């Protein structure tokens, strides 16, 4: 019923997860040092509430593997593209499915 997409928010310097249904974005989830945040962009039907709660839990689990998701201590001199890749680094040593050691400049 809902799908999730992980992306980088370069303006806020964080990794986020977007939750969508067939028609549009319903909410996005991110973690800050002060805890988890869920921004709901529109209302949903009561029959969809439980499914959305499951998607929110799944989004939090997915995001928890992104080691730079808070956007803190950004290395100096990163381009916007480099920053995006840095925010997408995961705890398994990959970024966007590619081993970090194989990234350009690494």
Contacts (Cβ under 8 Å, ≥6 apart) of 16: 6, 7, 8, 9, 28, 29, 30, 63
Q: List the structure tokens of 102.
A: 């194989």
Q: pTM value?
A: 0.90
Q: What is the pLDDT of residue 106?
A: 59
How do the domains of the chain map onto residue ranges? 3-102
Q: What is the pLDDT of residue 104?
A: 63
In tens digits, the chain (106 residues) has pLDDT values of 899 999 999 999 999 999 999 989 999 999 999 999 999 999 999 999 999 999 999 999 999 999 999 999 999 999 999 999 999 999 998 988 888 877 666 5
């Amino acid at each position: 019923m809902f799908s999730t997409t992980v992306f980088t928010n370069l303006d806020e310097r964080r990794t986020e997860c977007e939750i969508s249904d067939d028609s549009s974005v319903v909410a996005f989830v991110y973690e800050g040092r002060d805890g988890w945040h869920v921004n709901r962009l529109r209302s949903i039907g009561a029959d969809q509430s439980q499914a959305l709660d499951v998607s929110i839990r799944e989004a939090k689990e997915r995001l928890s593997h992104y080691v730079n998701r808070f956007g803190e201590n950004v290395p100096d001199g990163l381009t916007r593209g480099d920053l995006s890749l840095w925010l997408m680094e995961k705890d398994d040593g990959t970024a966007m499915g590619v081993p970090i050691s194989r990234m350009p400049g690494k």
